[in-house]
Structures are given as C-alpha cells and as structure tokens.
Structure 1
C-alpha cells in the first residue's frame, strides 16, 4: 500500500498540541484538534456544544493569536477542526496519524491509548509527544497491531520554528512505520530527525537540561552573576543570544525544573545524576511563581518607568529582588570579538585566564564529558547528540563539533590536569591517533564511531547538498571574498554569497557576471543560494549600504548610477539567459536579496521566508530591478485571453509592498503578497533547499528550456499616480506618515507606474529601470535619506524623519 497522511489528529490543545496542529495545517494536512470537556460545567451548559468545547476553543484561539505566528498564514487555520474527547472521539477513526499531547501522567496516557485502540483504523499510526514517560509503560497491555504502529514523536517548542523532531521506536514498531514517519517529518514537515532511545527525556533535553543545571550549580559555587553567565554562553560560544537564563525564561522555570527532576528520578545509575539538582534559589523562584516570560518575571524582567523607558532587570540570587545590571565585560570576551571564526572565538573564551574563562571552561568541559558518557545509553553515535543540540537548542555547533573546535588532544590534557574524568571512549579514540570527531574527505563528512572505533560516513538524505563539503572537495570553480561558484554536479552550478549577512556588494555584482559567463560556457543551469548558519538565517539582508553611503558622502552620484546600471544589467541578464536560473532563498531575503530572486526564472523558497523590498525604510527605493520585476511578476500572471484588465487593481498591491516595506512572515505569505508566483515552490526543510533548486533547474532543462522573450510592459501610468497620491495625502493629514514618507511614496508610485505616460501604455522595461536609478540617485541627494541610512548603520533600526 501507498501510505498517506490525509488526516491527522492531535489530542491535547495546549501550547505543544496547538503548535503541532498548526504545523500540520501549514503543511496542508487536515487536522482534528481534541481536548477534554471542562470539569466545571453547570447543569445548563452540559448539553451546550460551545461550553463543552471551551478548552479546545481556547487552544485554537491561542494558535490564531500567537506571536510569533504558529501558522504559516492565517487561512491555514481552515484545515483545523476542533472537538472534545467525549462527543468527537469517534472521529479518530478517519485519521491516519493520531498524536497524543496530553498531561505527563502515565495513567491518563494509558487510559487514552486503551480508548484509541478499538477506534483507530488498522493502518493508523499513533504516537506520543511525551518526553519523560517510557513508551513501553504507555503501551503496556495493548495489542500487537497497536504496538506495531506506535512510536514516540517528540517535537520541540515552538513547533514551527524549532527544527528538532526526536523519533523513538517502540519495542515492536514496524520498520516501515518508522521509515514513513521519518520521511514525512523531514520532507513534509521540514524537521531534522534524530533517532532517540526510550530513555528519560531522550537526547535533546537530557543533554540540554544537564548543561543548564550544571552551569547554574557552578555559577553559585564560583560566585558569578546571571548576566555574566549569559554573556559567556551566548554568541561567543556559538549559542543563541538568549544564552542559558534567557532561554530558560522562554521555556519556563517550572518546565525546566520538571524535566530536571524527572530525569534525576529516573537515571539512578547516571554518574552525573546530581547535576540535575537545581539550585535552591531557583526552587524559591518557582514557589514565588517567578516562572519566566509567561509570568513576566523570571531570571530577568522588564520594568517601565513613568516616561515609558524600558529598564531590564535581573534577579539577585540571594535576595530574590530585581536589580538593574550593566553588560558584563571579561577579557576573554574582548578576545573573542577579535576572532574571525567560531572555533577561534570558542578557544579565546575557554582557554583564557580570567574568571569568566575559568567558569566557561569548567561548564563546557563537564558538558562535553557528560555527552560522551551518554553513548550508547541515549544514542548510538555522536551525530544524534550534536544534531539535537543544534536543532533543539539552536547551538551553532554540537558538543562533539565544539570539542573539535577547541582541540581534542589539548582539551583532554587540560581536563586531566584539572582532575576531570575524561571518558574512556574518548581516551581510546585519542590513543589510537584519531584527534577529531569529524573529518571531511572527498566531499564527504565522516564521524568517529565509538562502537567500531573508526570513522563512518555521515548519512544524509539524497535531497541534501552541502556546499561546505563540496568546497572542501575542491568543487568551487570560482571564488572571491564575497562569493563562490560551486559545481553541484550534472552541469548545474551554484552561485553562493558569503559576505557579511550575504549583503549584495560591488564584488558580488562583478562575480555574478563572471559566474554567468562560466555557466553559459560550461553548464546547463544555475542555482543562486547559500547555507548561512543559524535559523532562520539570511539569504541576503540587502545591498551594501556602507559602500553607497561612502559614494554619496563624497557626492559621487554618477558612480552610484553606474553601479546600479551594472547591477541591473547583471540581474536582467540572468532573467534572459540561455539557461535556467533558480533562486533558493530562506530567512531574511530583503532589498537587494529580494531583487536577485525576482530576477530568477523560478524561486524555490524555504517555508520560513522573510521577503520584502524594504528600501524605503532607509529613504531609498528598490533600484536593482525590484520595482520593474515585481510589477512584471504581477501583470504577467494575467492570461492573454483577459483583455481590458484593470491595471490599477494590480498596481496598488505592488505599490503598497514597496512603499510600506512589507515583509512576508513565511513563504506562504510571500506567495499571497505576489513575490512568489504559481510556478515557484515552497520547501519545508531548509537542508533540502539547494538540492530541490538543482532538481528544478534540471527539470526545466529536461522540458526544453527557452529564455523568456523581452517584451514591452503595460503600465498603470498617471491615473495610478493620481489614485495613490490622494491616499497618501489622506494618510499624511491623519499623521500616519511623515512628510518625507509621502515624498518618497509619490516618487515610488511614479516609477512603478511608468512615469509620465497614460494608463495601459506599453513601455520598454529599460524605461522603468532608468526611472528606478534616477529616483535612487535623487534620494541619496536628500539629507533625510542620508540621515535614515546613517541611523540604520549605527543602530540597526529605521528612522522616521
């Protein structure tokens, strides 16, 4: 049989259940969301469907109102139906996948599965999102068929944004069920799959919570402050900005405490069992309901002064009172700032001599030792542990990648000198002459396998292409400081940006021209993409404002125009090239990055796509073909058979997108905004993005690709300008936009509408491109635009003047 998930059910509408339901709906799966009937119903409410569904309705409303959004787009909610576990339980019979997300109570879960067993259809998969209760206990007493279709599927919160999905096989789960869910989770839901064993809190939380609690214990022992620990265990060590304590505030102190206590109770033979005992001051905070973000007070809180000034405060561990704090400063952090690569930053922190370094070394060393000792208890290889921490905790490097970064031999020597117990498996590895956990050979990544005491290739999906591995295998045919051209195989090449935030600078513009020449001579097609670290990351944060600002400051406006002309020519060349060009954007795809995508034949986008033409925020407008190509994207969607279409109806959303600097909050929203067309694709797994873009190139080649013909463009003309100018006047009169905003918006309308021409006039696209350049240069001559750019470069925030 061909297994499909036509309909899924989520039982439990709390934060996690709601998040899973939202993800399934966003992926196009019809989803039934169930919860209990309220216990406190009055007699007159017991037959009222609205009252009986009060709990699940509250969960559904939370899905709709959550910020950041749980749904890719609001209308995805139409795929979610709600009900209660008394009146609607029989509807589970229609479901292909039933996910249990109820309270962590063994008896409740056992009773629920006993109710599900006779109702589920024979092929239905049942999974639990538990993190602390063994699957064996939950499925005790159930039939063989149920157990064969039963497994653990542990999502991480917030479900939409956290990549990790731990899969835990039951003792009798059929291999084909595990294979199917792994593929569905990776390909359709976009998750990174980690195979975990049925051990307490599986992989991610076992390692992650141990690291946090151990660091808390060491902080108390060594007399560090909460801000000091967060400063050390943040970006300097490749960790999120939320570091340890801000992350715990987000998760909830009560949740963290529950995981720690649950683990302590269940791991009697763990050599570091005591590292799950949270410090007493944290217990006191929990008693006082200082639980973190949900309580608006945890390790940190924000107070507002009478002048509405925000003051960040941190809790004093001894008094449990909140105090203002200044940014901590350690010499090791200053050294880390000077370092260029993450390994160099980590080494600067852990091998320094100051108080911060000594603490960071101690906390990290114990975490590395703990991770190595968990193999093969919680996972068979180092891969599962590293991926869990990267995908579940947003670390840039997992524990064993970090160990490589600080040097295995050097760190072992220091651990032993400090009296720390180096794990036997690591000592054996080093003694045999293997001084790294990972290595790259012939474009493949290998990891050290403790069981076989040798290296094995890291298994990845055939859809995954690693640009880093290809470059390590000398597949970069051209390269400069800001970009590379990489051979993806099958005559397809990838133009990769690697400037800061992948901003489009002069070097990239020149390089793209060279890349086009090379592919024209040697290839079948081109992918434009990169694999920037972090989630959501940045495909490209826009144009290089420093370069432009420097030219404007010296009054070299003709050079700005010449640069724009070169950029426009390069992107329009991509548009009309003799081979297919496919852009593969993800995360921040702003300004110039967005313009690159609009010039491509096709876009294969990651589901988390924050795309927009945001130049007005710095007093400019899109002048790399952005105005031209967005307008073309809209009007070329009109079938030729439709005559007399109202161009004003198409003009308005294009104008609003540019004049209001609209940024999509997902690829689905980018499609709704018109930035993605009907032939553009959305991919949920970012690891698959380059591979899927390559497939799209080959598909277009196979279909007999021919370049688009350059034709005149119909524009909305002066009529559209008049319509927009009237609305701008009303907004300015109402104080919604500044006088300068109005000035910029009117010029943007002039450009998009084709200038001083009548409605429905067909013009050469070169005319609109010239209007873009003229407006861009003129804006640079305005003091207020220069002020906006300088403010953005200085603060990272827009200025409204």
Structure 2
C-alpha cells in the first residue's frame, strides 16, 4: 500500500499543537485542528457554534500571533480547519494521521484514544506528543489494530524552528508505519529523526534536564552566577548563547520543573536521580510565578527602567533577589577566545585551572558519564543522543562529539584521578584501544557501537551529503582559507564558503574563477552551498564590510571598482558557463549572498530562508549583479512572448521596493513572494540536512536533460519613465518625514540603476551596462560620509544607523 498524508488532525490547539498544525500546513497537508468545548459556557453560549469553538479559535489566534512566526507564510492558515471534540469528532474518520497534543494526564489521554479507536480509519496513523507518560500505558486496552498504528511523535518547541522529531515505537507498532512516518517527518516536515525508546522524557529531555539539574546544583556549590555559567557553558563549549539559564527561561520554568519531576518520579533506578531534584530556590521561583521569558522574570529579569532604558538582571539563588550582571571574566574564557578551533576552545575551558574551568569540568564530567550510562536504556546508539541534543537543544556538537573534541582518554584519566565515576562502556572501549567515538572511513562517517564493540556506519538518508565527510576523505579539489571546492560525486562539485558568517571577500571572488575553470575541465556541474553552523545558520551574510570600509577609508576606489567588476563578471561567467550552477541557500542569505543565488541557473532553498538585498541599510546598493538579476527575475517570470506587451511599471515598482526597503523574507515561501525565488523554476526543501544532496540531484537532472547555457541577450528596461515616477514618490516621503535626505539620495540612485539609466522606456540594454551602473553608484555612495558612518556603525553594533 502506498501511504499518503492527505489530511491530518491535531488534537490540542495550544502553542505545541498549533505549531504542529502550522508545520503540516507548510508541507501542503490539510489539517483538522480540534480542542475541547470550554467548560464555562453559559446556557445561551452552549448553542452558539462560535462559543463552542472558543478554545480552538483562541489557540489558532495565538499560533498566528506567535513571534517568531510559527507559520512559514500566513497563507498556510487557509489549510487549517478548526473545530471541537464534541461537534467535529467524527471528522477524524477522514484523517490519515491523528496527532494528540493534549494535557499530560494519563486518564484524559486514555479516554480520548478510546474514542478515536472507534472512528479512525483502519490504516490511519495515530500518535501522541507526550513527553513523560509511557506509550504502553496510554494504549492499554485499545484494539490490536490501533496499537499496530500507534507511536510517539515528540516534537520540540517551537515546532517550526526546532529540528528534532523523536519517534518512539510502541511494542506492537508495524514497521511499515514507522518507516513511513520517519520518511514523512524527514522529507516533508524537514525534521531530524531520532529513534527513542519508551522511557520517561525519551532522549533529549532526559539528557537535557539532568545536565540542567547538575548545573543548578553546581552554581550554588561553586558560587558561580547565572551569567557566568551561561558564558562558560555557551558557544565556547559548542552550545548556544542561551546555554543553561537562558534556555530554561525560553522553555519556561514550569515546563522545566515538570520534566525534572518526571525524571525523578519515573526513573527510580537512575544512578544520578538526585541531580534532577528541583532546588528550593527554583521551587520558590515557581511559587512566585517567575517562569522565565513568558513572565519577564526567571533566572534573568528583563525590562525597562524609569528612563525607558532596557535592562537585564540575574537571580541570586541565595537571596532570591535580582542583581546586576557583570561581564564574566575567567582565564579559561580568555584562552578559549584565542583558540583557533572549536576543539581547542573546549579544551581551554575544561582543562583550565581557574574557578570557572573547574565548574565546567565538574558539570561536563558528570554529563559525559551520564550519557554513556544511558545506552542502551534510552537509545541504542550514541548517535541518537548526540543528534537529540543538537537538534532539540541547539547544540553545535553532541555530548559524545564534545567528548571526542576534548580527548576521550585524557578526560577519562582526569576523571579517574579525581575519583569521579566513569561509564563502564567507555572504559571498556578505551581498554580495547579505541580512542574516539567517531571516525571517517573512506568518506563514510562511522561511530563506535558499544554493543557490537566495533565501528559501524552512521545511518544517513540517501539524499544527505556530508561535506565534512567528503573533505575528510580527501575530496577537496581546490582550497584557500576562505573557500573550498569539494568533489561530491558523479562529476558534481560544491563551492563552499568558509569565512565567518560565510561573508564574501576578495579571496572568495578570486577563488570562484579558479573553481569554475576546474569544474569546466573536470566536472559536469556545480552546487554553491555549505553546511556550517546550527539552525538557521548563514549561507552568506553578505560582503565583508570590514574590507569595504577599509578601502573606503583609504579612498581606494579604483581597487573597489576592480573588486566589484571581478565579482560581477565571475557571476555572469557562472550563469553562461557550459555546465549548470545550482545555489543551495539557507538561513541568512543577505546582500552578496543573495546576489550569488540570483545569478545561479537554479536555486534549491531551505524552507528557513531569510533572503534579501539589504545593502541600503549600510548606505550602499547591490553591486554584485543584484539590481540586474532581481529585475531579470521579475522580467523572466512573464509567460513567453508577453514581455513586449507588459506594463513595465508593474514590475519596476516591486523590484525597486524590494531593494529600497531592504526586504528580507522570513521563510523560503516569503522569498517567493518577494521575487527572490521563482515559484516554478526554483525549489524549496524542508530539511536542511538534505539540501546539498537535493541541489546535486537538480544539477544531474539538468545535465541528463541536455543542459545548454541560457542565451545571452539584452535586457528590456523601463528607463527614465520609471525613475521619474519613483522620484516623485520619494519627494513626497522626504517631505513627510518618512525618509532622511541620505535615504532619499540612495533611493533615487537605486531607481536609476534598476531602470537601466537615462534611456527610453522599453529600451534593451546589455547586462554589462547595468552592472556598470551598479558599480558607479556603489563607489559614489562610498564617497558619502553618511554611508561610511552607516558601515562603521553596523560593524560596531550589528544594527543599522539612520542618518
């Protein structure tokens, strides 16, 4: 039988249920979102359909209003039908997947599933998003057919942004059901799949809450402040900036305590059970409704003072009062900042001898042993634990990857010297002469399987390509400090940027020419993409502004012009080369990063795409072909043969506005609406892990179809009619105080460039002519003090300057 999810039901319209419904809608699935009829209805309201649906309608409103948005685009909401569990229950009979997301109460869940068992389709998949109640108890007494189609599908909040989906098989779940939902979750919902066992809190929360619990104890034992703990256990240790206490505030202390209580009550044999006992000061916070970000008071307190200035304070566990935050300072942190690699940063922290380093070592040693002891209790392999923490908690590296980074043998010897417990499995691994949990063998990533006492291949989707594994296998064709060209098989190469935030600099521009030459001689096609950073990451944050500022301060305008021209010609050359070029953007794709994509034959984008030409924010304009290629994107979207009859103003105004307003999409769907992605030519991929692999498929498909480069031809422009029309509106906005004089000057010149210069409407001009207009405007803007000030301010503060 070929399964499809044509219609799904989500029962429970809270922020988790609403988030799951929004994600399903983004995948094009029709959704039935149900909740209970409110208990407090008056007799008159009981006969009012709107009143009976108040719970679900309020939930839907909250989902639509959530920030950051849970919807890829608000248009997806049209796929969601709302109802209640009394009037609309029978509609579940039409659903291919029914996902329960109700309160964590065993009796309520059992009663709900007993009702579902009577109306469900025989082959419908049923799942629970429970995080603490065993599935065996939930499904007890239900039909054999129900149990064969029942499993746990544990999403993490916020559903759109957290990559993790834990799948928990029931004792009787059919393998066919498990295989299908895993593929659907990975490909259609874009999730990283982790197989968990039916144990309390599954994997992510079981490991996560134990680590948080030990840190809560250690900050009191070692007199470490919340801000110090977060600085020590943050990016330097491969964790997000929110680290421990910032993360807890985001999740909510009520949720954190619920998970901790679950672990304590339901895991009586856990050897570190005492670490999840909630400290008294946290219980006091809960009683005082200090729940984190949702109440603006948690481990941190945020707000504005009497003068309207924002402040952030931290909780003192000893007093329960909020105190000022002093910038954390430890020798180990200073050493980590100077370290060149992530592994060296971690080593600087854990092997330091100052107060902060000892605190981190204590917490890390405890966590490593705990993780080692949880296999096979909660997961069959260390890969599942690593992925759960990366995808569910936003870590850059998982616990076992971090253990490899600091040195397994060295750390175990230190633990034993200090009398700390060590996982018996890890000791046995070292005794067998195995020094690391992971390795790459002939380009294939492998992990050490404790049960088999041997390395086995890391399970990967057929579409998932690892650039790191390819590079470890010696597949780097060309490289420089800022970029590399990697052989990803079948004659396809990947051009990867490797600078901070993948910013474009002179070295990358030079490298691109050599990369095109190499692919032309040795390959069949090129993917431009990378896999650096966590979610959402940065494909490229744009041009290296420090480089631009230095040239402007030195008045090296000729050098800048040559740099821009080389970049423009390189992108043109890629477009008209004898092989296809596919860009694979994700996350931040701004400025020059956006221009790289616009000049490709095709874009295969991740659904989380924040794309835009934002140069006006730093007093510049897109001069890497952005003005030209966005205009071409609009022009070429017209049906063949209609461009001569089209009112160019209808295309010119939105093109101009997208650049002049620095429009940035909040998703790939938004990039389609902005004109940066073509709705017919380009593709959107939900799972970033599959992005490079899917882009490679597009290259090979184009080659198989007999790829020929596009024919070079002139571009029809709107000319003086267009910028004249825009100038009138800019004049009105300037007089109304909506624009500064500098903004108005920038906008007028941008309109002139997009319009193709001082020519008649309908004139066809060469691409090189528009590119020259881009360069001239860019250089002229850099001669303006206010533009230079904008660049300097952005580099210093990370925020745009209005001047």
| Partners of 2:576 and 2:458 in 1: CA distance | 40
User: Is the contact between residue 303 and residue 313 of structure 1 (CA under 8 Å) also seen in structure 2?
Assistant: no
**Aligned residues: CA RMSD:** 0.8
| Partners of 2:306 and 2:140 in 1: CA distance | 59
Name the counterpart of 2:175: 175
Cα distance per residue 1:127-150 (max 9 Å; x no partner): 000000000000000111000000
Which of the residues 688, 691, 698 maps onto 2:690?
688
Name the counterpart of 2:651: 650
User: Is the contact between residue 585 and residue 603 of structure 2 (CA under 8 Å) also seen in structure 1?
Assistant: yes
Greater mean deviation of Cα atoms: 541-550 or 456-465: 541-550
Name the counterpart of 2:774: 772
Q: 1:80-229 counterparts in 2 under 5 A?
A: 80-229=80-229
Paired residue secondary structure (2:604): strand
Q: 1:520-559 counterparts in 2 under 5 A?
A: 520-559=520-559
Q: CA deviation at 1:640?
A: 3.0
Paired residue secondary structure (1:10): strand
Name the counterpart of 2:669: 668
Q: CA deviation at 1:647?
A: 0.6
Q: 1:195-594 counterparts in 2 under 5 A?
A: 195-594=195-594
Cα distance per residue 1:358-399 (max 9 Å; x no partner): 000000100011000001100111010000000000111111
| Number of equivalent positions | 801
Q: CA deviation at 1:511?
A: 0.8
Greater mean deviation of Cα atoms: 298-307 or 154-163: 298-307
Q: CA deviation at 1:319?
A: 2.1
Cα distance per residue 1:678-704 (max 9 Å; x no partner): 210000110100000000000001111
Q: CA deviation at 1:306?
A: 2.6
User: Is the contact between residue 385 and residue 398 of structure 1 (CA under 8 Å) also seen in structure 2?
Assistant: yes
Name the counterpart of 2:77: 77
Paired residue secondary structure (2:119): coil
| Partners of 2:497 and 2:386 in 1: CA distance | 26
User: Is the contact between residue 132 and residue 200 of structure 1 (CA under 8 Å) also seen in structure 2?
Assistant: yes
| Partners of 1:69 and 1:305 in 2: CA distance | 28
Determine whether 1:759 maps to 2:746. no
Paired residue secondary structure (1:489): coil
Q: CA deviation at 1:547?
A: 1.6
| Partners of 1:253 and 1:525 in 2: CA distance | 51
User: Is the contact between residue 16 and residue 157 of structure 1 (CA under 8 Å) also seen in structure 2?
Assistant: yes
Q: CA deviation at 1:318?
A: 2.1
| Partners of 1:222 and 1:578 in 2: CA distance | 64
Unaligned runs of 5+ in 1: none
Name the counterpart of 1:739: 741
Q: CA deviation at 1:734?
A: 2.1
Paired residue secondary structure (2:510): helix
Cα distance per residue 1:613-640 (max 9 Å; x no partner): 0100110000010000010010011123
Which of the residues 712, 719, 734 maps onto 2:721?
719
Q: CA deviation at 1:305?
A: 2.1
User: Is the contact between residue 478 and residue 485 of structure 1 (CA under 8 Å) also seen in structure 2?
Assistant: yes
Name the counterpart of 1:28: 28
Unaligned runs of 5+ in 2: none
Name the counterpart of 1:704: 706
| Partners of 1:311 and 1:734 in 2: CA distance | 34
Cα distance per residue 1:633-653 (max 9 Å; x no partner): 100111233242111111111
Paired residue secondary structure (1:578): coil
Paired residue secondary structure (1:532): coil
| Partners of 1:321 and 1:731 in 2: CA distance | 49
Name the counterpart of 1:55: 55
| Partners of 1:277 and 1:259 in 2: CA distance | 11
User: Is the contact between residue 539 and residue 585 of structure 1 (CA under 8 Å) also seen in structure 2?
Assistant: yes
User: Is the contact between residue 717 and residue 763 of structure 2 (CA under 8 Å) also seen in structure 1?
Assistant: yes
Q: CA deviation at 1:529?
A: 0.6
Cα distance per residue 1:564-585 (max 9 Å; x no partner): 1110000001111111000000
Cα distance per residue 1:248-306 (max 9 Å; x no partner): 00100010000000110000111001111011100000000000111111111123123
| Partners of 2:677 and 2:259 in 1: CA distance | 42
**Structure 1 residue runs of 4 or more that deviate by more than 6 Å after TM superposition:** none
| Partners of 2:556 and 2:379 in 1: CA distance | 61
| Partners of 1:733 and 1:36 in 2: CA distance | 54
Name the counterpart of 1:601: 601
Q: CA deviation at 1:795?
A: 1.4
Name the counterpart of 1:748: 750
User: Is the contact between residue 296 and residue 303 of structure 2 (CA under 8 Å) also seen in structure 1?
Assistant: no
User: Is the contact between residue 311 and residue 324 of structure 1 (CA under 8 Å) also seen in structure 2?
Assistant: no
User: Is the contact between residue 591 and residue 622 of structure 1 (CA under 8 Å) also seen in structure 2?
Assistant: yes
| Partners of 1:326 and 1:772 in 2: CA distance | 46
